[in-house]
């Protein structure tokens, strides 16, 4: 049986936006960390001191290497690990549920290279039951017994990329194990480098808690998106409405409308819960499906509103030069996963608009099967465009400067308070 000790070796499978910061936090408390990654190019870059994640610099990787970190694509390296944490992607599959192929492949690799007594922890976001019904059988397939040969738990990732306030160590960690002993082993491990560890009653409760967190955001974003639409039709300033409601010190949390939802969690995770409810219980999770319908309609709404604004100044959307500002899914990072800028661009192109883009964090934008280069000179592009659309409010944007140079400025994020700027 493996004890939690100062010389513990940990393998983190998946060195992306979840796994790499997690590995950094482990290195900082003296754990020996193996960053397992199947992409040889990523392994070579990390071992050469080069980062591919927004929140970590090359200097951070160099520090980790000095602390004993190493990246590897060799499955045999997992045999040294007392703890193995699986942080692989779970995108949506064609049927609307999670695509578990990466989880299954990673678990299979672990099963073939498992140190006796090791603790295995899944962090990938998925539907309730995955740890018990998918991961556990794979680990046990060759006769290994849970509670003797290995211990299995689930701890959902709660990474907030680009956040200046919350990171691995100060974000509470949920932990649920297949057994009470597995829960305790996983929790004791995370307590090495996380300030607050919350023990859950089981794996399914921990899995469902993560989905509830993001479903809550998904539904509330849909609420304000729908309010933004009818407030516009009623001649009501939605941003003033939100400002007023947000002064209430209890019973209200501020959410704001936008051109859609993006990122690795909000547009995807609630679907896991909806998928499992429908598959297992045979009925719909109607809140999630309605929220998805509303949020997915926002890019088309942005296109419609922009068409109306151009029409008011005597221009058709067809043939107009439209400059899109900010194409990442959240401010001040380069991550473009599920960015609403992509469906907005698709809508505008279908209406025959001539689109260009600027984003301080993105030089080349791969959008709708093509590639656009960032405009070379922002000031010139602002002046030459028929309309400028703010899709992401990066802090480096001087919105007054932009508004002074744009012929028509449509702010979908409500970042500007000027009367001559059109807001969603």
Asked, for residue 211, whether it belongs to a domain, the answer is no
Domain that holds residue 179: 9-200
* pLDDT above 90 as % of the chain: 82
Structure tokens at 192: 């090495």
**pLDDT of 289 over the 80 cut:** yes
* Residue 188 shares a structural domain with residue 263: no
Asked, for residue 208, whether it belongs to a domain, the answer is no
265 is catalytic: yes
Structure tokens at 224: 């304000």
Measured distance CA(221)–CA(211) in Å, rounded: 15
Number of structural domains the chain divides into:
2
Q: Is 348 in contact with 309 (CB distance < 8 Å)? A: no
Asked, for residue 68, whether it belongs to a domain, the answer is yes
* Residue 128 shares a structural domain with residue 159: yes
Q: Could you say which of 27, 87, 231, 265 is catalytic?
A: 265
Asked, for residue 212, whether it belongs to a domain, the answer is no
Mean pLDDT in the chain? 93
* Residue-level pLDDT at 322: 98
Asked, for residue 2, whether it belongs to a domain, the answer is no
Indicate the range of 274-278, 281-285, 296-300, 352-356 predicted with least confidence: 274-278
Q: Mind listing the pLDDT tens digit for each residue in 115-148? A: 999 999 999 999 999 999 999 999 999 899 999 9
Average of per-residue pLDDT across 55-64? 95
Asked, for residue 36, whether it belongs to a domain, the answer is yes
Q: Is 319 in contact with 281 (CB distance < 8 Å)? A: no
**pLDDT of 1 over the 70 cut:** no
């Amino acid at each position: 049986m493996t004890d939690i000790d100062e010389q513990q070796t940990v393998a983190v499978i998946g060195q992306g936006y979840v796994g790499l910061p997690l590995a950094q936090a482990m290195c900082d408390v003296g754990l020996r960390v193996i960053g397992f990654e199947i992409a040889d190019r990523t392994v070579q870059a990390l071992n050469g001191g080069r980062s591919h994640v927004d929140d970590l610099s090359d200097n951070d990787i160099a520090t980790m290497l000095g602390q004993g970190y190493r990246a590897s694509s060799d499955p045999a390296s997992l045999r040294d690990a007392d703890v193995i944490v699986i942080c692989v992607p779970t995108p949506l599959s064609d049927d609307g549920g999670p695509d578990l192929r990466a989880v299954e492949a990673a678990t299979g690799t672990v099963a073939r290279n498992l140190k006796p007594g090791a603790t295995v922890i899944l962090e990938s976001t998925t539907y309730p039951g995955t740890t018990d019904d998918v991961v556990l059988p794979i680990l046990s397939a060759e006769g290994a017994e849970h509670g003797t040969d290995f211990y299995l738990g689930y701890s959902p990732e709660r990474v907030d990329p680009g956040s200046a306030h919350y990171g691995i160590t100060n974000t509470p960690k949920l932990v649920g194990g297949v057994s009470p002993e597995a829960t305790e082993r996983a929790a004791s491990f995370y307590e090495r480098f996380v300030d607050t560890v919350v023990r859950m009653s089981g794996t399914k409760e921990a899995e469902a808690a993560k989905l509830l967190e993001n479903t809550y955001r998904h539904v509330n974003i849909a609420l304000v998106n729908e309010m933004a639409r009818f407030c516009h039709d009623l001649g009501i300033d939605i941003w003033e409405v939100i400002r007023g409601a947000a002064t209430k010190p209890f019973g209200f949390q501020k959410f704001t409308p936008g051109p859609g939802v993006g990122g690795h969690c909000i547009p995807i995770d609630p679907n896991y819960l909806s998928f499992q409810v429908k598959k297992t219980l045979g009925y719909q999770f109607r809140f999630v499906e309605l929220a998805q319908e509303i949020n997915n309609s926002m890019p088309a709404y942005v296109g419609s509103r922009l068409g109306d604004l151009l029409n008011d100044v005597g221009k058709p959307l067809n043939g107009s030069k439209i400059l899109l500002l900010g194409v990442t899914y959240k401010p001040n990072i380069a991550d473009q996963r599920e960015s609403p800028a992509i469906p907005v661009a698709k809508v505008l192109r279908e209406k025959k608009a001539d689109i260009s883009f600027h984003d301080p964090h993105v030089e080349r934008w791969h959008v709708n099967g093509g590639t656009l280069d960032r405009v070379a000179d922002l000031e010139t592009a602002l002046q030459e465009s028929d309309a400028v659309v703010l899709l992401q409010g990066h802090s480096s944007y001087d919105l007054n400067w932009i508004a002074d140079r744009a012929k028509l400025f449509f702010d979908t994020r409500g970042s500007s308070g000027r009367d001559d700027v059109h807001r969603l």
